Amino acid sequence: MDGFGKIIFYLQYPFVRYALIVGVLIALCSSLLGVTLVLKRFSFIGDGLSHVAFGAMAVASVLKITNQTALVLPVTVLCAVLLLRTGQNARVKGDAAIAMISVGALAFGYLLMNIWPVSSNISGDVCSTLFGSTSILTLSARDVRICVILSVIVIALFLFFYHRIFDVTFDENFARSAGTHVDRYHLLIAVIIAVIIVLAMNLVGSLLISALVIFPALSAMRIFKSFRSVTVCSAVLSVLSALAGLFLSIAAATPVGSTIVAVDVLVFFVCFLIGRFGLRAG
Amino acid sequence: MALITCKDLAVGYDGDAVVWGLNFEVRAGDYLCIVGENGSGKSTLMRTLLHLQPPVSGEILLGDGLTAGGIGYLPQQSSIQKDFPASVREIVLSGCQSRKGLRPWYNAAERQLASETMEKLGITKYAKRCFPELSGGQQQRVLLARALCATGKLLLLDEPTAGLDPGVTTQLYSLIEDLNREGITIIMISHDIAAAVRFASHILHIGRTVFFGTREQYEKSGVGRLFLAGTQEQEMPGRPEE
C-alpha cells in the first residue's frame, strides 16, 4: 500500500481522526502567542514551563491519576505565575529562577519515574513524555473533549484580548501610561502559555513544545511585517505543518512530534529564503 | 485650575528620593521643558507624572478634566523593540487603547481619529509600512501620532530628538511647536538646552538646584545662566539618558 492509500485507510479509525482534530487545534493555539513569546523574551519561560509540565506529568503517573491534565494544568499555571513574578523585578535573577525550576522539575520527574516505575519500560515512558511519540494516537474521547474545550478558551481569550496583547507586547511603558493594566495582561499571557504547553504535551511531548510555539512565528516574521498578518500567517503555517507532519508520520511510520517539528523547521528555512530574496509582503 | 499641579513632590525609586522639593504647575497651553544634568531625575520625574511609579512624597494633582490615562506619552526610542512586526497604522491605533477600554475591537471613531492624526503628521503614506524599516524621524512621527491619539490635551515627550540628525530635529521641533499653538500642552524632557529656551514657555530645571519659572526668568536666573553657558560646550547632543 502506498503512503496516500495508507492515510485514507487510517482515516477510517477514530483514533486517527482524534489525532487530526487535536493536532490542528494544538498547532493553532500554540502559534497564536508565538510572536509575543519571541519578542517579549518569554520564550525561555515557555521552555522552563514545559519541563515543569514534565515533572508534574511524572508525579501524576506515579500517583496513577487517570486524569493527568487535572494535576499538570494547575501546577504549570502556578509555575507560570511564579516565574513571571520573579522575572519582572530583576532579569538575571529571573533567568536563574527559570533554570532552577525547569531543570529541577526535569530531574525530579525522571527520579520519580525511576523509583516508582509504573511500567516495566521506564525509558519508553520517559521518552514518550519528552517526545510525545505515540500518545497522540492513544487519545480517548475524553482527552479530545478536554483538548477542544481548552483550545476554544485559548482562542477566545486571544481574540478578545488581541489588541491588548499587541499593546503590552509592543510598548509596555506606553500601555502603562495609557492606564492599561500591563501586569494583569502579562499574567493572562503566562496562564495562556501554560495551558498551551499542557495541551501540546500530548502532541509533541515536553521537549519539543517550544519549537511548536516559536517556529511558526519566526517563519511568519520572515515574510510579513505587521502584527496581524504575522499572527494570521503563523497560525496558517502552524496548522498546515502539523497536518503535513501528522500525515507524514502515518505514511512513513515516524514519531509524530518530531516529524511535525521537522516540518516546522523546513517551513522556517523556506520562509527565511523567501524573506531573504525580497519577496516581502505587507 | 492647572492641568498638573505638583506640591512638594519628591521622586525616586524604592523610597529613595532623587529629586525633592518640586513645586510647579502646568496650565493648558503651556510648553514646559524639563532640563538638568544626566542622572538628575528627569526621566524619574516623567515616569512619576505618568503614574508609572509612585511619588516618594508629595502629591500630583490633575485638573481641567485630565485623567492619568489621558496623557499622550512619547517614550525614548530605546524603549521600543527592534524588529517588532508592526505596521504604522497598528501602532497609531494603539494610541486609542485607553479610549477603547475592554471592547475587543476599535470602533469607527477611533479608526477615524487614527487616520486623521496620521494625515496631520504626514505619515499616511507609511500607514502600511513596517515600523522598524522607517527612519528615525519617521518613527518619531509615528510615536507622536500614537501619543496624540491618546490625548487631546497634554503630551509628555521624553527626549524626542535624541539620535535624530539636525534637519529632522528642526522639523520635529516645529511640528511640536505647531501642536502647542493648536492648544496642546507640552511637557518635554530635553538635553537640548538651546531648543528648550527657544521654544518653551516655562522651564523646570532639576538637579542640585531646582528652578521653575518662565523662560525669561530662567535666562536671568543664576542656575539658568550657568547651565546655558556650561552645557553648550560640554553636552553631547542626542546622548540618551541613563
Q: Grid coordinates standing for A104?
A: 529541577
Are the C-beta atoms of residues B3 and B28 closer than 8 Å to each other?
yes
Please give the pLDDT value at position A135. Answer: 62
Read off φ and ψ for residue B215, nearest 5 degrees: -60, -45
Helices then strands, each counted (H, E), chain B:
9, 9
Q: Which of B13, B105, B111, B130 to mutate to probe the A interface, most A CBs <10 Å? A: B130
Q: How does residue A65 score in pLDDT terms, banded at 50, 70 and 90? A: confident
pTM of the model: 0.86
Mean pLDDT computed over B116-133: 92
- Interface list for chain B against chain A, based on CB atoms closer than 8 Å: 50-52, 67-69, 71, 73, 75, 79-81, 83-87, 89-91, 94-95, 97-98, 100, 104-106, 128-130, 133, 146-147, 150, 156
Q: How does residue A16 score in pLDDT terms, banded at 50, 70 and 90? A: confident
| Helix runs in B161-238, H state only | 166-181, 193-199, 215-220, 222-234
The answer to whether the Cα torsion of B120, B126, B130, B136 is positive or negative is negative
Domain span at A19: 3-276
Sheet holding B57-62, edge to edge: B16-26, B4-13, B57-62
d(CA A11, CA A14): 7
Q: Do A225 and B87 touch (CB under 8 A)?
A: yes
Residue A146 in any domain: the answer is: yes
Q: How does residue A70 score in pLDDT terms, banded at 50, 70 and 90? A: confident
DSSP of B33-47, one letter per residue? EEE--TTSSHHHHHH
Q: Grid coordinates standing for B151?
A: 490625548
Q: How does residue B236 score in pLDDT terms, banded at 50, 70 and 90? A: very low
Q: Could you count the other beta carbons within 10 Å of the beta carbon of residue A92?
A: 7
pLDDT tens digits, A185-201: 988 988 998 998 888 88
3-class state of residue B5 by DSSP:
strand
Mean pLDDT computed over B90-104: 90
| Least Cα separation, residue B46 to chain A (angstroms) | 10
Mean pLDDT computed over A52-81: 86
- Per the prediction, chain B carries an average pLDDT of 86
Contacts of A177 in chain B (CB under 8 A): 50-52, 69, 71, 73, 150, 156
Q: Does A92 have pLDDT greater than 70? A: no
pLDDT tens digits, B133-182: 898 899 999 999 999 999 888 999 998 888 888 889 999 999 999 999 99
Selecting from B67, B79, B90 the residue whose C-beta is nearest the C-beta of A228 gives B90
d(CA B241, CA B239): 7
**Rounded percentage of chain B residues whose pLDDT exceeds 90:** 46
Please give the pLDDT value at position B91. Answer: 94
The closest of A20, A46, A8, A19 to A213, measured between CA atoms, is A46
A175: enclosing H helix or E strand = helix A172-177
Residue A270 in any domain: the answer is: yes
Where do the structural domains in chain B lie, given as residue ranges? 1-66+153-242, 81-151
Total domains present in chain A: 1
Mean pLDDT computed over A113-117: 82
Q: Does A173 have pLDDT greater than 80? A: yes
Please give the pLDDT value at position B34. Answer: 93
Closest residue in chain B to residue A157, using alpha carbons only: B104
Q: Which of A163, A165, A177 to mutate to probe the B interface, most B CBs <10 Å? A: A177
Contacts of B106 in chain A (CB under 8 A): 163
Residue A226 in any domain: the answer is: yes
Span of A149-163, A227-241, A265-279 with lowest mean pLDDT: A265-279
Q: Grid coordinates standing for A129?
A: 513524555
d(CA A47, CA A165): 20
CATH number at residue A226: 1.10.3470.10
Contacts of A170 in chain B (CB under 8 A): 80-81, 84, 86, 91, 94
Mean pLDDT computed over B89-93: 94
Contacts of B67 in chain A (CB under 8 A): 179
Q: Do A282 and B87 touch (CB under 8 A)?
A: yes
Please give the pLDDT value at position A43. Answer: 67
Query: How many Cβ contacts (< 8 angstroms) between chains A and B?
Result: 93
CATH top-level class for B1-66+153-242?
Answer: alpha beta
Residue bearing cell 505618568: B50
Residue A282 in any domain: the answer is: no
| Least Cα separation, residue B94 to chain A (angstroms) | 6
The closest of B47, B67, B21, B12 to B156, measured between CA atoms, is B47
Q: Does A268 have pLDDT greater than 90? A: yes
3-class state of residue B17 by DSSP:
strand
